[in-house]
Amino acid sequence: MGMWEAIVLGLVQGLTEFLPISSSAHLRIVGELIGSADPGAAFTAITQIGTETAVLLYFRRDIATICRAWWRAITGKHGNDRASRFGSHDPDARMGWYIAVGSIPIVVLGLLFQDSIEHTFRNLYLIAGTLFGFALVLGWADRRGAKVRPLRELTPRHAVLFGLAQALSLIPGVSRSGGTITAGLLMGYTREAAARYSFLLAIPAVLGSGLYQLVSSLGEFGTAGTPGVAPTVVATVVAFAVGYVVIIAFLKVVSTYSYKPFVIYRIVLAAVVLALLAAGVLAALPAPAVGG
């Protein structure tokens, strides 16, 4: 992977990470189209550190408030009974617990299906199917959802359901934000509340996955079939800068407009992928590394 490919993939990651269109699917597709082949699950996870750093920066005050409130609750500042330690007196403390609980499904399933995530799930026929299928689900949820619940009405049960929806994003094409936003709409949350919780819920899961892949891939950078250190760093930095701008724009858009444009885009992209597969421009599975 050269520097220009790294810049392109960083732009793709930054532009698509927070939209309900699947950044991992776009990196898989664009990577092959520009001639750098499938950048791989590890590259995808590491570049997501860039976009999640943008989330940390944008939501820094919310995150600091949640962390302080959670620590006060767990250390007994509001009382030593179980309910108080679990945030019964402070919605910010409860949010800390909800983020922790909601992160469990993607961690467990990510470890259980790691091999499939890195290989089988990157089949472009599967990706085209999930792009199309979840476009219909997102569109239906956006039309049928009540859109009345604010984020302060989040419950433990809903936190788990949000987490299970987020775990579906382990399959490229589903979209982490698309899965969690769809679940939120079906549970009656407003578009803005669902999107905001999607950002917060992603922080531990995405950062954890990225750091894990970074540590486990240190000895593999630059070997046959893998991106080098410099291109990966460049792509991550570009993803951070672009992702920060996208967060600002997306939160403004979702409070006013429907998700219909994203639904249409997903369907069109699925059709384009299938056409490119039929024409032999794209290969369903990544080519195996050679040499090394």
Q: Is the pLDDT of residue 229 over 90?
A: no
Q: Is the pLDDT of residue 35 over 80?
A: no
Sequence-ordered list of residues with C-beta below 8 angstroms from that of 116, at least 6 positions apart, any chain: none
Does 288 reside within a domain? no
Q: Is the pLDDT of residue 265 over 60?
A: yes
Does 285 reside within a domain? no
d(CA 195, CA 147): 12
The alpha-helical segments, DSSP class H, found in 35-121 are 40-58, 60-74, 82-85, 91-112, 114-118
Domain span holding position 106: 3-279
Whole-number pLDDT of residue 225? 58
Does 204 reside within a domain? yes
Sequence-ordered list of residues with C-beta below 8 angstroms from that of 65, at least 6 positions apart, any chain: 92
**Burial (Cβ within 10 Å: 0-12, 13-18, ≥19) of residue 279:** exposed
Q: CB–CB of 265/272 below 8 Å?
A: no
Does 80 reside within a domain? yes
Does 169 reside within a domain? yes
- What values do phi and psi take at 279, rounded to 5? -85, -5
d(CA 26, CA 121): 14
Does 24 reside within a domain? yes
pLDDT band at 224 (very low <50, low <70, confident <90, very high): low
Q: CB–CB of 174/106 below 8 Å?
A: no
Over the chain, what is the mean pLDDT?
88
**pTM given for the model:** 0.86
For the chain, the domain total comes to 1
Does 289 reside within a domain? no
* Listed residue (153, 165, 22, 26) closest to 94, CA to CA: 153
Whole-number pLDDT of residue 219? 66
Does 291 reside within a domain? no
* Listed residue (112, 184, 203, 188) closest to 149, CA to CA: 188
